Structure 1
């Protein structure tokens, strides 16, 4: 059983590790405001992940297979990521030398909502959860009880938590070693990547109707 738990934790880390919009937003907010804002973005993302997991666990994943639902998510992801990316680029190249105003960056609530909305509107998240977790859950249910399968599912979340903590701590302590100008470049670069993801989402949305 211990081996299976470790396996699911590693799976959670593997799901969270690829560089994507959530990791980029955690990086950006961590540079701007420190550990808690980066961590809360991750919590927002994990909230969406748990929601996806529950939908799959209770067999409600089919609703996301409709074309119009996927198109809506791609369009929402496009507008959200483009806005966040544009704001990051603007902040990064501003002459304020990373001295952001609180109302521009937002509080912890805004950080949480950014993480949640990015994750919930990211169709690539669906691929991970419905593809990888869905197949893993199906395999588990042939070997263990539903209660044990649910426990293993929670271990996946533990893996995601560990990875998000790694990012939040790394950014928090790493930003103290960088000069203000370098932090500005990193923030602007993160914004450009987010804009790139938004364009990719727009392209995917168009593909659904061609």
Structure 2
């Protein structure tokens, strides 16, 4: 497979990882409709930066430390759960704002997404398993790793790993989602004034739900 095709496969892989609903997209959505595209994009960059940090740690083998010490992972998950509940309360307060009326610090979304991503067990697990595999020579069934529908797409797109083109495409796909998703939300919000409170409310529910789930997970591991 040539480098162009491998790079495009990496883009698909990055989009498949970034697009499914979850706490990161909840933060991006809230920031986008309340404070505008710039804030939403910065939130996406926060998640992107956290993935890049995990990538660098995987390169030097530090990511495996979490796997060897379950207590450390449980504590990280617990911190992530508390942060999600805290940000969920902020999202509830944002339900009265709109894109036209909301104001705030553009960097706040970056910080929220970055910290949440660093304590997100799904991202940690990804870099302990699939992420490390991207760096080693071999093959990966790209679409089989897609959350929720991976089993139905298994075997559709199998590419070689250990390629700089694949890694570059992977991060390009995440960046593409980080810019395109906020743009779509802002466009929709401008057309429907009530869209922002709805998105902020849904974001609060998503963050709160994941926060409770993460705290439960951490508690069961520590007890």
Q: TM-score range by the shorter chain?
A: 0.7 to 0.9
Moved over 3 A (4+): 96-102, 143-146
- What are the within-5 Å matches in structure 2 for residues 129-140 of structure 1? 129-140=127-138
The alignment partner of 1:60 has SS state of coil
CA contact (8 A) 1:44 1:114 kept: yes
Determine the structure 2 residue equivalent to 1:161: 175
Q: How many residues of Structure 1 are paired with residues of Structure 2 in the alignment?
A: 201
Note if contact 1:40-1:108 (Cα within 8 Å) is conserved in structure 2.
yes
Instruction: Name the residue aligned to 2:190.
Output: 176
Q: CA deviation at 1:151?
A: 4.1
Contact 1:98 1:184 in 2 (8 A): no
Per-residue CA distance 1:54-94 (angstroms, 9 max, x = gap): 111222221111112211211111111101111111331x4
In 1, the alpha carbon distance for the partners of 2:137 and 2:192 equals: 46
Change (3 A) 1:36 1:22: same
| Maintained 8 Å contact 1:16/1:160 | yes
Q: Using structure 2 for the length normalisation, give the TM-score.
A: 0.82
Cα offset, 1:127, TM superposition: 1.7
Give me the CA root mean square deviation: 2.3
Q: 1:98 to 1:47 in 2, by over 3 A?
A: closer
Q: Which runs of 5+ in 1 are unaligned?
A: none
Q: Deviation of residue 99 (structure 1)?
A: 7.1
Determine if contact 1:41/1:112 at 8 Å carries over to the other structure.
yes
Whether 1:204 and 2:207 are equivalent positions in the alignment is no
Of 128-137 and 8-17, deviating more is: 128-137
CA drift of 1:100 comes to: 5.8
Counterparts of residues 118-129 of structure 1 (less than 5 Å)? 118-129=116-127
Structure 2 gaps of 5+ residues are 140-158
Distance 1:99 1:209, change over 3 A: same
